[in-house]
Chain A
Amino acid sequence: RKEVEQDPGPFNVPEGATVAFNCTYSNSASQSFFWYRQDCRKEPKLLMSVYSSGNEDGRFTAQLNRASQYISLLIRDSKLSDSATYLCVVNPSNYGGSQGNLIFGKGTKLSVKP
């Protein structure tokens, strides 16, 4: 099983739609979770951290289910500018002794159409 798995997509949705991405991780000891966004031919940028209780930032909502080792990202009222690849990111923390590591999923591609 890969460390961080995501559906690669692409997800093609109309403007205004609600879209959800899922991600699973293999290391149950993982402590920190993030969603990064990567535009075409650009560098990844932090979208939001994922807190145990779930968190919301405007149109974006992130959820964590530790029991199922599952992370989700919900985008409401999608905009054309949301078109990008969304990377699920996990810090395995004490796994293997690495404190600063980040494990990236391969990303889910979103395309928002007019």
Chain B
Amino acid sequence: DAGVIQSPRHEVTEMGQEVTLRCKPISGHDYLFWYRQTMMRGLELLIYFNNNVPIDDSGMPEDRFSAKMPNASFSTLKIQPSEPRDSAVYFCASSLRPQTVNTEAFFGQGTRLTVV
């Protein structure tokens, strides 16, 4: 398996534009997570899905952010409109089971977003 695949790897966009980040989880993993990482706040969970259903979106910063998982092999995180403070590295991760002992979350390589 190629692991968790994210695209694009880098995105530079102008303030106000729509940004869509994409993720393909590891096949067979029931859990998918979207995280955002900044120097100031570290890694923050934005939302996670179980069997394609959003379970906890309390970390989504505001209505400008939305996430979907139309099927088991694809998820998107959309920011509309984007703002400079959204600049961060966005990670997608997947796991086979809930995060208990002996369960590993596998991360994609991340999308580095810069909003100018």
Interface residues of A (CB under 8 A from B): 31-34, 42-46, 49-51, 87, 91, 93, 96-107
Besides the contacts A101-B45, A104-B43, A105-B42, what 15 more A-B pairs have beta carbons closer than 8 Å?
Answer: A31-B100, A33-B101, A34-B99, A43-B91, A49-B101, A93-B100, A99-B50, A100-B31, A100-B48, A100-B95, A102-B33, A103-B45, A106-B41, A106-B42, A107-B42
Is B109 within 8 A of A100, CB to CB? no
Q: A100-B31, A102-B105 are in contact. Are A43 and B110 (CB under 8 A)?
A: yes
B104 part of interface (Cβ distance < 8 Å) = yes
Using known A-B contacts A43-B110, A44-B107, A105-B42, determine if residue A100 contacts B55 with beta carbons closer than 8 Å: yes
> Quick check: B104 and A46 within 8 Å, CB to CB?
yes
The answer to whether A32 touches B101 (Cβ under 8 A) is: yes
Nearest CB of B to A69, in Å: 17
Check A49 against B98 for contact (C-beta < 8 Å): no
User: A51, B104: Cβ atoms under 8 Å?
Assistant: no
B56 in contact (CB, < 8 A)? yes
Contact call B109/A42, Cβ cutoff below 8 A: yes
Given A44-B107, A46-B104, A100 and B99 contact (CB-CB distance below 8 Å): yes
Interface residues on chain B, number (Cβ under 8 Å): 27
Give the chain A neighbours of B56 by CB distance below 8 A.
Answer: 96-98, 100-101
**Which chain A positions have C-beta within 8 A of B109?**
42-43
Tell me which residues across on chain B come within 8 A of A103, comparing CB atoms: 45
B108 CB–A CB distance under 8 Å? yes
Bitwise interface map of B from 20 to 49 toward A, beta carbon under 8 Å scored 1, else 0: 000000000001010100000111110010
Docked complex Cα distance between A42 and B55 (Å)? 27
Chain B residues, CB < 8 A from A50: 101
Is residue B102 within 8 Å, beta carbon to beta carbon, of the partner chain?
yes
By a CB distance below 8 angstroms, the chain A residues around B41 are 106
A91 close to B107 (CB less than 8 A): no
A91 to B100, CA, bound (A): 7
B4 to chain A, nearest CB (A): 8
Taking CB atoms, residues of chain B closer than 8 Å to A51 are 101
A32–B91 CB distance below 8 A: no
Whole-angstrom distance between the alpha carbons of A46 and B104 in the complex? 6
Looking at A31, A51, A98, A100, the one whose CB has the most chain B CB atoms below 10 A away is A100
